[in-house]
């Protein structure tokens, strides 16, 4: 009896499942039939087909909605350019907004590097698009790429003190090579020329002349080389889809967050914004609409932020930036390989590391003699720590001696005592006495005894006029090096990160999860 009952129960379940499958198959067949009928013109439809459309009105509505959705998706993927007169008008408006901006932040995507023969990501012939279509993405030698007109225009805006920060999704390192300091740059997806040692504290960076991602992949970031300080394995800085970027440099999420809070104008160049839209703090979404920074977008395709933008320009980045810089009256400098910081700051491979890569190296300029530069730079680091301390002691002694030579007599304080002033008399401050009581006397020139500060990086001093290194801080302490090649350290230059005050690296999480958790804790 029990077996018969089980068989009846199973048969009922099978019949119910078969019935559901039949209903689904019938509905799918109806959808196909209605879609085929709708593709015909009304004149070509038979009476029977017209009757089917009338009887299946709900199916007709759903088919029409699906077709409209497909058309919208196709339209968003199309690259559209504005007419020349419309483009000129929009560029004038954007130039006016940049000229009025007190803090300009720029978010860049792959579209600014297409002029350097680097394919974009989601364009009509982009890497993502070709992968979705099952096509080959081809081989692209990124070592031949150089900063484009857009990169150099952003560098000119930085020199004019208009640009405050750049948030880049590109891994090509062209922003850094154009001359923008790393403190003003957030490469949120990493840099293909940078590998790091995570065991050193702070993280130790090595800027190379070749693509360091030859042997790396998602969740596998070892490059096959070792740190010159601790002999730990080096890793690339690339952030793949689904990973979290928690390196303080070159990702620099802290700098991107601060720049977004201070920005009053945000300019997006060549980015589809399909990834950046999911980081709400970059757009200050927790603020009221009227207090958010003004958004301007330059892209050939549709972006999910078009509705929030003050102005959307459909044009190529180089053409748009050329017009904008002309309206601003700023000259775009030409890229000069001799002034490319990567050739001066990069760490060369040692003899026992030559086999770790087969990637082509960047072609170095012929007018740079690296051995001489390395030797001069090392001499700087050996002398700076001792000479500056001695000169500071001597200069402070000379200043105090020269100032104390003009001590004021006691009677000079009597007028202040008779007035009953609450502050102490001047004879208690002999450093200020000569300027107030002896203006006719010639005070010796103390500036000649003050030593001039020495630059920490020759390249940054000669090309940027900076006493500190704008790209990487060099380390002169080579006493803790491990390995047989520690004696040959003069042949290489090891680079160390020295960030601004030691702040705990903010881990935003993937697609804003960390941000939302932080907001919940605040509330």
Is 429 annotated to bind a ligand? Reply is no
* Long-range Cβ contacts of 37-43 (<8 Å, 24+ apart): 38/63, 38/64, 38/67
Domain that holds residue 166: 84-351
Is 393 annotated to bind a ligand? Reply is no
> What's the CA gap between 485 and 385, in Å, rounded?
24
Look at residue 83 in the predicted model and tell me its pLDDT.
95
Specify whether 158 is located in the same domain as 13: no
Is 460 annotated to bind a ligand? Reply is no
Distances (CA, A) of 119 to 125, 127, 145, 250, 403: 8, 7, 11, 22, 66
Domain with 134 in it: what CATH number?
A: 3.40.50.1220
Q: What is the 3-state secondary structure (H, E, C) of 431-477?
A: CCHHHHHCCCCCCCCCCCCCCCCCCCCHHHHHHHCCCCCCCCEECCC
Look at residue 327 in the predicted model and tell me its pLDDT.
96
Q: Tokens in use for 279?
A: 């980081």
248 and 203 in contact (C-beta within 8 Å)? Answer: yes
Where in 38-180 does DSSP place strands (E)?
A: 104-108, 163-168
Q: Angle of helix 57-77 relative to helix 2-39, nearest 10 degrees?
A: 60
pLDDT along the chain (523 residues), means of 10: 71 78 82 86 84 86 87 83 95 96 95 79 54 57 84 96 96 94 94 93 90 91 93 93 86 94 96 91 92 95 94 96 96 94 92 91 74 47 44 42 42 44 49 46 54 83 90 50 34 40 42 50 53
Residue 162, phi then psi, degrees to nearest 5? -95, -45
Look at residue 36 in the predicted model and tell me its pLDDT.
87
The model's pTM is 0.71
Residue 363 domain-assigned (yes or no): no
329: left (phi over 0), alpha (psi -120 to 50) or beta: left
151 and 339 in contact (C-beta within 8 Å)? Answer: no
Of 34, 54, 76, the residue at which a domain comes to its end is 76
Specify whether 130 is located in the same domain as 196: yes
Residue 126, phi then psi, degrees to nearest 5? -80, 170
Identify how many contiguous H helices and E strands the chain contains and give both numbers. 15, 12
Look at residue 258 in the predicted model and tell me its pLDDT.
94
Look at residue 429 in the predicted model and tell me its pLDDT.
52
Residue 499 domain-assigned (yes or no): no
Residue 368 domain-assigned (yes or no): no
Annotated active-site residue 345? The verdict is no
Specify whether 299 is located in the same domain as 240: yes
459 and 344 in contact (C-beta within 8 Å)? Answer: yes
225 and 201 in contact (C-beta within 8 Å)? Answer: no
Options 151, 165, 189, 228, the catalytic residue: 189
Specify whether 185 is located in the same domain as 107: yes
Specify whether 4 is located in the same domain as 108: no
Specify whether 236 is located in the same domain as 285: yes
């Amino acid at each position: 009896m029990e077996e018969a009952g089980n068989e009846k129960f199973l048969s009922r379940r099978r019949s119910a499942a078969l019935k559901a499958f039949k209903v689904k198959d019938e509905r799918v067949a109806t959808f196909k039939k209605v879609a085929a009928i709708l593709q015909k013109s009304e004149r070509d439809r038979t009476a029977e087909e017209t009757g089917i459309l009338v009887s299946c009105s709900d199916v007709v509505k759903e088919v029409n909605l699906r077709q409209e959705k497909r058309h919208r998706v196709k339209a968003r993927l199309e690259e559209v350019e504005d007419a020349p007169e419309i483009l000129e008008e929009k560029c004038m408006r954007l130039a006016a907004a940049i000229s009025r901006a007190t803090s300009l932040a720029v978010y860049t995507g792959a579209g600014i590097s297409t002029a350097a023969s680097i394919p974009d990501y989601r364009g009509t012939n982009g890497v993502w698009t070709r992968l979705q279509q099952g096509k080959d993405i081809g081989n692209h030698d990124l070592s031949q790429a150089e900063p484009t007109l857009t990169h150099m225009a952003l560098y000119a805006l930085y020199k004019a003190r208009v640009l405050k920060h750049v948030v880049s999704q590109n891994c090509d390192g062209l922003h850094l090579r154009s001359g923008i300091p790393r403190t003003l740059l957030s490469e949120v997806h990493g840099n293909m020329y940078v590998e790091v040692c995570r065991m050193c504290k702070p993280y130790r960076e090595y800027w190379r002349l070749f693509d360091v991602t030859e042997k790396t992949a998602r969740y596998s970031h070892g490059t096959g080389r070792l740190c010159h300080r601790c002999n730990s394995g080096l890793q690339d800085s690339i952030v793949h889809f689904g990973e979290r970027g928690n390196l303080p440099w070159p990702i620099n999420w802290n700098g991107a967050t601060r720049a977004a809070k201070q920005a009053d104008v945000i300019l997006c160049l060549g980015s589809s914004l399909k990834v950046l839209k999911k980081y709400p703090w970059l757009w200050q979404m927790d603020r009221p609409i009227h207090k958010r920074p003004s958004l301007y977008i330059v892209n050939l395709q549709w972006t999910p932020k078009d509705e929030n933008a003050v102005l959307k320009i459909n044009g190529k980045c180089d053409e748009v930036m050329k017009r904008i810089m002309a309206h601003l009256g700023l000259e775009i400098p030409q890229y000069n390989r001799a002034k490319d910081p990567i050739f001066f700051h990069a760490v060369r491979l040692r003899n026992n590391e030559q086999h770790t890569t087969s990637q082509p190296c960047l072609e170095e300029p012929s007018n740079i003699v690296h051995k001489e530069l390395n030797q001069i730079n090392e001499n700087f680091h050996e002398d700076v720590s001792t000479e500056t301390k001695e000169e500071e002691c001597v200069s402070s002694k000379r200043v105090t001696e020269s100032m104390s030579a003009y001590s004021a007599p006691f009677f000079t304080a009597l007028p202040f005592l008779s007035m009953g002033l609450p502050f102490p008399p001047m004879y208690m401050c002999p450093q200020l006495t000569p300027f107030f009581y002896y203006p006719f006397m010639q005070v010796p020139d103390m500036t000649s005894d003050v030593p001039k500060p020495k630059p920490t990086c020759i390249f940054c001093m000669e090309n940027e006029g900076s006493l500190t290194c704008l790209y990487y801080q060099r380390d002169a302490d080579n006493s803790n090096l491990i390995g047989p090649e520690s004696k040959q350290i003069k042949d290489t230059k090891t680079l160390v990160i020295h960030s601004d005050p030691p702040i705990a690296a903010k881990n935003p999480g993937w697609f804003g999860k960390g941000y939302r958790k932080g907001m919940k804790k605040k509330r």
